[in-house]
Chains A and B, each alone.
Chain A
Amino acid sequence: MAPASEAHRTHPLSALLQGLIWGAGVAVALAWQLLDFDDLQWWALASIPAGFLGGLAAGYVSWLFTRYVIDDAEIRVERGILFKSSRRIPFERLQSVDINEPLIARLVGLSELTIEMAGGSDSRTRLRFLTLVEARRLRRLLLTRAHGGSPRDETGELPPEEQRVVLHVVPPDQIIYGTLLSLDFVGTVLATLGSVVAAFLLEDIGWALLPLILPASWAVVQMIMTRIVAQWNFTLSRGERGLRIERGLLSRSSQTIPYDRVQGVGVVEPIVWRRYRWARLDVDVAGYGNPGESDGGVSTTTLLPIAHHDLAMRIVEELVPDPERGTTEPVRPTHRSRLFAPIGWRYRSLAATAHTVTTATGWITRHRSIVPHHKVQSVEFSQGPLERRRGVASVEVHTPDGPVSAQIKHLDAAVARTVTFEEVERARLARRTQPPLAASSADASIAPTISRESSQPSGSTTFRGEP
């Protein structure tokens, strides 16, 4: 094995792959801009293959000048010819390491390594492309280092790939049903069908609706692609250091969420799904940020796209110790808050357990946010002018940016104040009992893992949810 600080290149085929991607992009853009079939110009025709070749060349050059170096404290990625960029990623700042196999790369057995750090939109580093074996080896090395472990023992070997226990494989039919039964999908399909029908009824001017039909159909196709194809074979497995998510039919992606980097878990139950007791799980990890609108419901923050509620809760227990134990009497808004949410106020509540604080909200789609006390960033108590007139106030428990947001609006003002300082107190206690997780000695944070392991004696069972 090479010495630790030697510079590595990505796989030579990445030059070709990246070149193809860029070349195709340039060629399509040029074709779109320049081609005029009524009046074909030779230079317009020639520019398309030229653009394609240019893209290929750029791919080669970018490969030639991309290097990564791993030493004792960090991984460094260097890029660029004219504008050199060098990014250093100290191991202890690492939040998660993912492996993606976009379809085109997967065809030739290559994959992309994504390294996530906390902070900012630019905190993601991609290494494309590596062989799958190399990507896995790197991930193992990075994750071991991130947890303060030594990269290799005396014999100079990497620790072997850890044993993983498959927790759940989401059956494809459940993903399909779940998508078909989700409100936004049904809404989009109805809108599309509606406009098609309208187009047929308005025979003469029906074609004018085409600009409406095309994007709507495209949205339907995209939803099917992102939700069903991207979440095909969604596999959740448990290892020593974290949960792993593997998913995708065409493009595969493999994601590791270290236990101690989980900032909060969200349980989402849309109205139709509740009939079947289905739920979706979201997870807050510093650095993942908010799922973009364009993701259409699939993103790195999805922990489990669809599963039976009981199964989902068992998965939550994997991440959050004892979410149910020692549950306090839930705090609910007063009837004075009816003004703000005529129906919704009955569905809002906040409860705390020994380890977590849980808020619930929503009556069409029910959201439950579970935040461990020792991950609470800050607690806010606020009151607007209308709230003051009704004698109510709101409490928000801040977590790093992501899909999970633990807040309860319009509690009785005095109760809200009590809740705020109770949560501050619980968070303080949790931080004390939890050995402080100094960034460099993340091992200390395995503590909750131990209690969890002992509560799962039959560690090798695979449980599946019944739809």
Chain B
Amino acid sequence: MREDLFTSPAGVWTPISPRLATARGLVGSACGLFLVLVSLVLWLQLADLVDGWAWLLWLPGALGLALTAWVWWWAPRNRRSWGYAEDEDDFVVRGGIMFRRLVVVPYGRMQFVDVQSGPLARALGFGTVTLHTASTATAAAIPGVPLDEATRLRDRLTDLGEGHGAGV
């Protein structure tokens, strides 16, 4: 039933790059690894001092491992929840697992389109495409769009925006 609710009527959804999940997994793993290292250092330095309670020093590490596991479980699911559809008159973006959101943006309302890409995202070849209308509430950002697709999307949306131009 959920899937039914968050589809577009004309619905051909373009999924986003699986590499987004990889990138998020890597970032999560890095954080996890850092916590494990913190535990290791703490254990090496303080194990003698807190005799008997030394296992407590491994809590950050355990947390780090749990975080890593959770990120690798969550990221692909979150990735799959994202998608966009280019309907005849509107652009439709959906995303989120816990907080699901579907935004319909008419092409004519688009003021400008941003493509952003950090160093890791660029290395993996994807970026975030953000649509801006005169309303800040629109906030339609699509993470994990492959870079060439992102550029195509930006140009196409800009063209469509001009074609449908409806002013403010």
In whole angstroms, what is the CA distance A434 to B90 when docked?
17
User: Contact at A380–B101, with CB atoms within 8 Å?
Assistant: yes
Shortest A211–chain B CB gap in Å is 38
Shortest A147–chain B CB gap in Å is 13
In whole angstroms, what is the CA distance A437 to B134 when docked?
14
9-residue interface stretch from A193-201, A342-350, A416-424: A416-424
Q: Which B85-119 residues have C-beta < 8 A from chain A?
A: 89-90, 98-106, 108-109
B135 touches which of A398, A414, A437 (Cβ 8 Å): A398
User: Contact at B165–A378, with CB atoms within 8 Å?
Assistant: no
In whole angstroms, what is the CA distance A383 to B1 when docked?
13
In whole angstroms, what is the CA distance A396 to B137 when docked?
9
Shortest B4–chain A CB gap in Å is 8
A378 touches which of B2, B5, B105 (Cβ 8 Å): B105
In whole angstroms, what is the CA distance A420 to B9 when docked?
11
Q: Does B136 contact A (CB under 8 A)?
A: yes
User: Contact at A286–B99, with CB atoms within 8 Å?
Assistant: no
In whole angstroms, what is the CA distance A417 to B164 when docked?
25
A interface residues, how many (CB within 8 angstroms):
41
* Residues of A with C-beta under 8 A to B102: 380-382, 420
User: Contact at A382–B100, with CB atoms within 8 Å?
Assistant: yes
* Residues of B with C-beta under 8 A to A374: 166
Q: Does A431 contact B (CB under 8 A)?
A: yes
Q: Does A261 contact B (CB under 8 A)?
A: yes
Q: Does A4 contact B (CB under 8 A)?
A: no
User: Contact at A393–B138, with CB atoms within 8 Å?
Assistant: no
Q: How large is the interface on B (under 10, 10 to 19, 20 to 34, 35 or more residues)?
A: 20 to 34
* Residues of B with C-beta under 8 A to A393: 5
With A401-B136, A413-B5, A436-B108 given, is the CB distance from A379 to B166 under 8 Å?
no
| Closest chain A residue, CB of each to CB of B10 | A421
* Residues of B with C-beta under 8 A to A261: 168
Q: Does B133 contact A (CB under 8 A)?
A: yes
User: Contact at B138–A421, with CB atoms within 8 Å?
Assistant: no
User: Contact at A436–B106, with CB atoms within 8 Å?
Assistant: no
A436 touches which of B90, B101, B133, B166 (Cβ 8 Å): B166
In whole angstroms, what is the CA distance A403 to B66 when docked?
44
Q: Does B167 contact A (CB under 8 A)?
A: yes
Shortest A57–chain B CB gap in Å is 41
In whole angstroms, what is the CA distance A376 to B133 when docked?
10
B165 touches which of A405, A413, A436 (Cβ 8 Å): A436
Main SS class of interface, A: mixed
User: Contact at A388–B167, with CB atoms within 8 Å?
Assistant: no
Shortest B95–chain A CB gap in Å is 10
1/0 per position for A397-410, CB-CB distance to B under 8 A? 01111000100000
Q: Does B150 contact A (CB under 8 A)?
A: no
* Residues of B with C-beta under 8 A to A442: 167
In whole angstroms, what is the CA distance A341 to B68 when docked?
38
| Closest chain B residue, CB of each to CB of A286 | B168
Q: Does B140 contact A (CB under 8 A)?
A: yes
| Closest chain A residue, CB of each to CB of B131 | A378
User: Contact at A428–B90, with CB atoms within 8 Å?
Assistant: yes
User: Contact at A379–B134, with CB atoms within 8 Å?
Assistant: no
| Closest chain B residue, CB of each to CB of A424 | B104
| Closest chain A residue, CB of each to CB of B90 | A424
In whole angstroms, what is the CA distance A381 to B134 when docked?
18
In whole angstroms, what is the CA distance A383 to B6 when docked?
10
Q: Does A455 contact B (CB under 8 A)?
A: no
* Residues of A with C-beta under 8 A to B166: 374, 431, 434, 436-437
Interface residues of A (CB under 8 A from B): 95, 118-119, 261, 263, 286, 374, 376-385, 388, 393, 396, 398-401, 405, 413-414, 417, 420-421, 424, 427-428, 431, 434, 436-439, 442, 445
A sample of 24 inter-chain contacts (CB < 8 A) reads A95-B168, A286-B168, A377-B109, A377-B137, A380-B101, A381-B6, A383-B101, A384-B98, A385-B99, A388-B2, A388-B100, A398-B138, A399-B135, A401-B135, A414-B5, A417-B5, A420-B102, A424-B90, A431-B106, A436-B164, A436-B165, A436-B167, A439-B165, A439-B167
Extra A-B contacts (12), CB below 8 Å, given A382-B99, A384-B99, A438-B165 = A376-B109, A377-B133, A377-B134, A377-B137, A377-B138, A378-B105, A378-B138, A381-B103, A382-B101, A383-B5, A398-B133, A420-B104
